[in-house]
Structure 1
Amino acid sequence: MPSKSSARTAALTVAAICSTVSAVVFTSPAQADAVAVHDIQGGTRISPLAGQQVTDVTGIVTGVRTYGSSRGFWLQDPAADDSPATSEGIFVFTGSTPTVAVGDSVKVSGTVTEFVPGGASSGNQSVTQITKPTVTVVSSGNALPAATVINSRSVPDAYTPAGDSAAKGSVNGLALQPKKYALDFYESLEGMNVKIGSSRVVTATDPFSELWVTVKPYENPNRRGGTVYGSYSSQNTGRLQIQSLVPTATQPFPTANVGDTLKGTTEGPLDYTQFGGYTLTARTLGTVADGGLKRETTRKQARDELAVATYNVENLDPTDDSFADHAAAIVNNLRSPDIVSLEEIQDNNGAKNDGTVAADQTMRKLVDAIAAAGGPAYDWRSIDPVDLADGGEPGGNIRQVFLFNPARVSFTDRAGGDATTAVGVTKANGKARLTLSPGRIDPAGEAWKNSRKPLAGEFVFRGKTVFVIANHFSSKGGDQALHSQYQPPVRSSETQRHLQATAVNAFVKDILAAQKSADVVTLGDMNDFEFSETTKLLESDGALWSAVKSLPKSERYSYDFQGNSQVLDQILISPSIRRDCDFSYDSVHINAEFADQISDHDPQVLRFEP
């Protein structure tokens, strides 16, 4: 999958291009005179005056954005109406650096528009704005309207109403119920001056100067400070993204890890952004108090235990400076597993798109770094993909790789495996065996179009064969956000993952049909949750079981996205492993919760006695 930074950069470029065109278009030519901000905002998500000219809209400037592609300012009318559904704040899009200051009393004339961050195809909600403005400063140095408090008491527990089926599931036309639904509550405050008190950080500071907090400290917490995402029907409503209105060149954004506290008052206008939805754009930013989060270390496997791990190393190629850190993580935090399924190993020149597909230099550099860190002399097996056929960062040719310790486990090599030849299952002497090792599962199948093909291999540990299938399912790119105007959001990316899960499940069934007692480990970055339909399809007919479900619900996560600690990386086991109950599972939290992460995924480790 593309790195977060490259995906975000591309999207920001699109947002800049679309800043004046990704709006809901209205054709009404009428002019609305003498209206207040709450008249513009109305009681739904779409302004009743969208597309109309408004004159002399008054208010106090509560925030100024002088950077990025969406420059402008927020104004708020201190003379509020008596409806909790109508916001008293609005964003004025100037396009260039505004000439107003916080505390100015202004009159604004312009056109009411509905701007959709990310474009209409994203499914995001729209932001009500005044565009092409004429601004008159009436006075300066005025007191700001009192900030509305966002806390555990004010945010409802229910997340959102279901969308209107007559409007393709959109909530845009529904009357806001801010006392009943969290998304309605936030929408009723769009553009208004809001504040939070000391709040726990639930997603670490990212490279784009953002972090996430929760205003509901008791909402699905885990012991390390995060908020666990446990089902589609139970959203974490206390999550809120925090940005700063002060350019980082003037005041660096604070660095925070999960479990830290953003202390004191954080105050500013409530915005809605492409990457995160409702966002407190801080005029006053709290300070970070260290929560003391430490990277975890799993236990060492016993002599008769086989340790199998999965680790997404996020587009690793020879130009990266993270090899020593990854090596230290494998040796020290994972305690040198016997077998590691590595995801996102790139070819020898990374994203350079010149036809290179070999990754031997990438792997040699990693293996050498592990040895230098005091780890074993690992060997590895993989299959180079067809150029540009497996998705991910263009030119990177990411693939899965088996890393293994030959002092503890041996790999059964059977020649013939290549990028386009499908591995099969045969039976010999009453035992299952692969026709190719390593081999790729159904590489020409529709399920794997522009996606990573599963890598299957046979290993022998203490005289017993273990089948391992390394996976990296298609990403969630293209899915509508949790805060989408469409409720429930459409998860379009699931279609391919469901095909992939069905194909892997069928392959595992082939192994079990040849040998009912076969030990099969299916693992990797599944890009889906343990409660998802993707996982259910992998587990179909009892062929596999996701071992992360052996952990308490509060400990089930390998990834942190928009304030949700969630499962994307999984290790699934065949009935023979599960039946013996002689296994242990550990999600080793070394990356996802930290601002200085070397990957955005946490590795997973399974230990069992074959």
Structure 2
Amino acid sequence: MPAASSRTTAVSAVVTAALAAGLLTGAATTSASASTTPDQAVEGQVRIHDIQGSTRISPLVGRQVGEVAGIVTGVRTYGSKGFWFQDPNPDADPATSEGIFVYTGSAPTVAVGDAVTVSGTVTEYVPGGLGSGNQSLTQISKPTVAVVSSGNALPEPVRITGRSVPSRYTPEGDPAAGGSINALPLRPSRYALDHYESLEGMNISVGTSRVVGATDSHAELWVTVKPHENHTRRGGTVYGSYDAQNTGRLQIQSLVPLAQQPFPKADVGDVLTGTTEGPLDFSQYGGYTLTARTMGTVAAEGLRRETTRKQRGGELAVATYNVENLDPSDPQEKFDALAAAVVDNLASPDIVALEEIQDNNGAKSDGTVAADLTVKKFTDAIVAAGGPAYEWRSIDPQDKKDGGEPGGNIRQVFLFNPERVSFTDRAGGDATTATDVVRERGRAALTLSPGRIDPANAAWENSRKPLVGEFGFRGRTVFVVANHFASKGGDESIFSQHQPPTRSSEVQRHAQGQAVNSFVKKLLSVQKNADVLVVGDINDFEFSGTAEALTAGGVLYPAIKSLPRSERYSYVYQGNSQVLDQILTSPSIGDFQYDSVHINAEFADQNSDHDPQVLRFRP
């Protein structure tokens, strides 16, 4: 223990001095030094494991190293250009990596299999910058490279398996270092993040593995080496707790430029067969990433898009669907596909709360806030797909006040089928006027319908304000609150250097949850048995503090919790199937059927990145 403690103190001093000198940054060519005189040369022969050290920050950061030897294991000619090389003669310490990235800034002139010596400055590059909270990538910058020989055998890859990756995700950060794990000695046999860090820059491989994150527009996918870890029946991996991370997930990218070899297209549940091999990188959005020199082959498992059942005569079906920045400039194919999903996959719900409906000219910023053309194009497409002639209600936001894509002025919109549902219009609702609750003939009623909930509340600054409407179904009033809470932008990732990571965006969502909760309490104080549905893109998990704020006092229940844990998800991020979209019910709605209809999030071809949610009940 004393030795580990003194090493932690020493590494902390390295990091502190580097930060004080302004040398630890997100710039790929900037070095971090433990001294105010960077670029001081290291005397004697240095090997890669000496540079990597047994913590996340190199003990030689900011120092000049000369003629470091190794075999080139991968070359990257796009993005952050450079190459990886590895010492074929490892030391006996499992915490010290034998591989490292060399940042060249231009297309490298070496080839895989070259034996090289590299001289340069040891640096720590933080993908996304210091403000991201990400861990750093140890590398050699401003290199001088000499090729000693070519055609050498590569170091045998380290196989990543379910047995090799620990079930614990990460140690807790050091409180004295602001919760950072950077200075903690690596324990690769105990923690998954330490295991991956101990292999940073090394040649690794995975065998046949299930895809848990579909191929995206950035040519990357996610696999798991632990097929039974919180698995869904459709092949994904459920994210169900802050304290139970899915350690088997690994991002896969390709070192082969797309112009030379297209990246394989895969859906969740497909299988990446054979061997995928290459250096282990650390990236801004995926953390530890296998940059494949050799890519396996995708075996399609034929995942099908789900279809929910149609509501029965006495059932009211209410859905929520984030349609991802929909505006008239989107191709007709997107409108048609979204419309077909409403009609076929969602079985034409009676009420649909839409999120991310943009104004009539989309991202163009010219003061336009109306979205009637967007909604008309969508409702026309629904009719063309064989669905009902939905009517709609919404409130135009103030220009540039509701966040989202700049110029897009996204908002929530209610669609409703007038053959099944009526809407109670109460005039006066606008972007800045709050609706309230009154008693009419012994029952709760809105002063404005549609109306906005407490739009002047600071909780809604630069965020979408909740839209509430009063609906009638078979003589019963149903209140629906459509939401799109603040995004998770700015939060640190689950692979942050701070553990637990800082989730700064939660502060606003908690306040938003409290505001909606207060409004629901007001409704129920006027009418205890009022039917209230709070729906939308909550941008937070069913186990989160936001959910606790929404449900405080027992006024709401997250209906997705009625599903088995393996089916609780509406979104897939970094290989984690997770809940963002929710429908919450008031106590009077005790008997319902809930369906998270998986038609987008698990697929490489998406019409939106969210899965819609449907709830059916008898008011």
**TM-score for the superposition, normalised by structure 2:** 0.95
Q: Which of 578, 583, 593 matches 1:571?
A: 583
Tell me the residue number matched to 1:300.
Answer: 310
For 1:12, the equivalent position in structure 2 comes to none
Deviation digits for residues 413-446 of structure 1 (CA, Å, limit 9, x no counterpart):
0000000000000001110000000000011110
Alignment of 1:167-182 (within 5 A): 167-182=177-192
Question: Secondary structure of 1:95's match?
Answer: coil
Unaligned runs of 5+ in 2: 1-24
1:25-81 deviation per Cα after TM superposition (whole angstroms, max 9, x unaligned): 54344311310000000000000000000000000000000011x100000000100
Secondary structure in 2 matching 1:576: coil
Q: CA deviation at 1:292?
A: 1.1
Mapping 1:494-573, distance limit 5 Å: 494-573=506-585
Alignment of 1:258-269 (within 5 A): 258-269=268-279
Structure 2 match to 1:228: 238
| Superposition deviation, residue 291 in structure 1 | 1.1
Cα distance in 2, alignment partners of residues 575 and 25 from structure 1:
59
Return the offset for 1:410: 0.4
Q: 1:54 aligns with which of 49, 65, 68?
A: 65
Match of 1:5 in 2: none
Kept in 2, the 8 Å contact 1:201–1:262? The answer is yes
Kept in 1: contact 2:223–2:250 (CA 8 A): yes
Contact 1:23/1:116 (<8 A) preserved: no
Q: How does 1:125-140 map to 2 (within 5 A)?
A: 125-140=135-150
8 Å CA contact 2:558, 2:585 repeated in 1: yes
Q: Which moved more, 1:215-224 or 1:28-37?
A: 28-37
Which portions of structure 1, spanning 4 or more consecutive aligned residues, are displaced by more than 6 angstroms?
A: none
Alignment check: 8 A CA contact 1:313 1:326 kept: yes
Contact 2:26–2:125 (8 Å) recurs in 1: no
The counterpart of 1:183, out of the listed 175, 188, 193, is 193
Pick one of 62, 80, 90 that aligns with 2:90.
Answer: 80
Give the secondary-structure state (helix, strand or coil) at the position aligned to 2:186: coil
Q: For residue 155 of structure 2, what is the aligned residue in structure 1?
A: 145
Distance 2:435 2:376 in 1: 26
Give deviations 1:323-378, integer Å, cap 9, x for gaps. 00000000000000000000000000000000000000000000000000000000
Q: Please name the residue that 1:468 is paired with.
A: 480
1:217 to 223, 227, 230: 227
The code of the aligned residue for 2:100 comes to I
Aligned equivalents of 2:105, 2:124: Cα separation in 1: 15
Aligned to 1:38: 49
Q: How does 1:306-385 map to 2 (within 5 A)?
A: 306-321=316-331, 322-385=334-397
SS in 2 for 1:304: coil
Cα distance, 1:71–1:561 mapped onto 2, change above 3 Å: same
1:432 to 401, 426, 444: 444
- Rounded to whole Å, the distance in 1 between the matches of 2:431 and 2:147 is 66
AA at the equivalent of 1:496: Q
Cα drift, residue 19 of structure 1: 3.6
Q: Return the match for 1:71 from 81, 86, 89.
A: 81
Instruction: Report the alpha carbon displacement of residue 24 of structure 1 after superposing the two structures with TM.
Output: 3.9
What SS is found at the alignment partner of 2:588? Answer: helix
Q: Which residue of 2 aligns with 1:408?
A: 420
User: Which of the residues 300, 307, 310 maps onto 1:290?
Assistant: 300
Cα deviation, residue 22, structure 1: 6.3
Structure 2 counterpart of 1:144, one-letter code = L
Q: How many angstroms apart in 2 are the aligned matches of 1:407 and 1:320? A: 29
1:605 equivalent to 2:617? Answer no
- Equivalent pair of 1:264/1:286 in contact (CA under 8 Å): yes
CA contact 1:22–1:120 (8 Å) conserved in 2: no
Letter in 2 for 1:143: A
2:267 equivalent in structure 1? 257
Letter in 1 for 2:593: S
Counterparts of 2:120 and 2:526, CA distance in 1: 72
Q: Could you tell me whether the CA contact under 8 Å between 2:278 and 2:293 is conserved in 1?
A: yes
Describe the SS at the equivalent of 1:312: strand
Partner Cα separation in structure 2 for residue 319 and residue 54 of structure 1: 55
Secondary structure of the corresponding residue to residue 118 of structure 2: strand
| Aligned equivalents of 1:174, 1:528: Cα separation in 2 | 30
Code of the residue aligned with 2:391 in structure 1: it is D
Deviations 1:366-417 (A, max 9, x none): 0000000000000000000000000000000000000100000000000000
Return the letter of the residue paired with 2:587: P
Indicate the residue corresponding to 2:411 in structure 1.
399
Q: Deviations over 1:456-512 (max 9, x none)?
A: 000000010000000000000000000000000010000000000000000000000
Aligned equivalents of 1:576, 1:513: Cα separation in 2: 13
Write the distance in 1 (CA, Å) between the matches of 2:610 and 2:110.
43
Identity %: 72
Corresponding residue number in structure 2 for 1:491: 503
> Which residue is equivalent to 1:11?
none
Distance 1:115 1:252 in 2: 29
Corresponding position: 1:20 with 2:28: yes
The answer to whether structure 1 residue 194 and structure 2 residue 209 are counterparts is: no
Aligned mates of 1:592, 1:25 — CA distance in 2: 43
Task: Give, in whole Å, the separation in 1 of the partners of 2:561 and 2:97.
Answer: 43
Residue equivalent to 1:6: none
> Post-superposition shift, 1:187?
0.0
- Contact in 2 for aligned 1:400/1:470 (Cα 8 Å): yes
Take 1:451 and 1:537, find their aligned partners in 2: how far apart are those partners? 18
Distance in structure 1 (CA, Å) of the matches to 2:607 and 2:34: 46
Aligned with 1:575: secondary structure?
A: coil
TM-score, normalised with respect to structure 1: 0.96
Alpha-carbon separation, structure 1, partners of 2:337 and 2:138: 45
Partner of 2:462: 450
Paired residues of 1:229 and 1:565 also in contact (CA < 8 A):
yes
Partners of 1:192 and 1:374 lie apart in 2 by 55
| Aligned amino acid, residue 604 of structure 1 | Q
Tell me the number of residue pairs that the alignment of Structure 1 and Structure 2 aligns: 590
Partner SS state of residue 114, structure 1: strand
CA distance in 1, matches of 2:214, 2:376: 32
**Offset of 1:533 from its aligned partner?**
0.8
Q: Secondary structure at the match of 2:108?
A: coil
- Which letter does structure 2 place at the counterpart of 1:413? D
Q: Tell me, what secondary structure is at the counterpart of 2:216?
A: coil
Q: 1:22 touches 1:119 (CA, 8 Å); kept in 2?
A: no
Partner Cα separation in structure 2 for residue 608 and residue 260 of structure 1: 35
Is contact 2:28-2:103 (8 Å) kept? no
User: For the Cα contact (< 8 Å) 2:30–2:123, is it kept in 1?
Assistant: no
Structure 1 residue aligned with 2:133:
123
> How much does 1:23 deviate?
5.4
Cα offsets for 1:516-572 (capped at 9, x unmatched) = 000000000000000001001100101100000000000000000001000000000
Cα contact 2:72–2:114 (8 A) shared by 1: yes
- State the 1:260 CA deviation: 0.2
CA distance in 2, matches of 1:18, 1:177: 26
